[in-house]
Amino acid sequence: MVDEDATRPKPEERPARAPDGAGLSAGSGVAGDAPDPGAPSEIDQLRAEIAAATDRVLRERAELENYKKRMAREKADAIRFGCEPLLRDLLPIIDNLRRALDHARTSQDVAPITEGITLVLRSLDETLERHGVQVVDACGRRFDPSRHEAIGHIESEQPANTVIAEHQRGYLLHDRLLRPALVTVGKGQARSNGAAELDVEKAPHDD
Task: Write out pLDDT tens, residues 45-100.
Answer: 899 999 999 999 999 999 999 999 999 999 999 989 888 999 999 999 999 999 88
Query: Which H or E run contains 37?
Result: none
Which of 132, 184, 134 lies closest to 163, judged by CA? 184
Q: Measured over all CA atoms, what is the biggest interatomic distance in the chain, rounded to whole angstroms?
A: 198
Percentage of the residues of the chain whose pLDDT score is greater than 90:
52
Same domain, 126 and 148: no
Residue at 110 is within a domain: yes
Residue at 78 is within a domain: yes
Q: For the chain, give the mean pLDDT.
A: 80
pLDDT band per the 50, 70, 90 thresholds, residue 9: low
Output the pLDDT for position 198: 41
Which of the residue ranges 17-21, 98-102, 196-200 would you say has the lowest mean pLDDT? 196-200
* Chain centre to alpha carbon of residue 112: 46
Residue at 32 is within a domain: no
Distance CA 42, CA 35 (A): 12
Higher pLDDT: 30 or 171? It is 171
Distance CA 16, CA 10 (A): 17
End-to-end Cα spacing for the chain: 198
Query: Which H or E run contains 154?
Result: strand 148-154
Output the pLDDT for position 149: 96
Q: Of the residues 131, 161, 181, which one is the last residue of a structural domain?
A: 131
Domain of 139 in residue numbering reads as 133-201
Same domain, 62 and 111: yes
One-letter amino acid for residue 68 of the chain: K
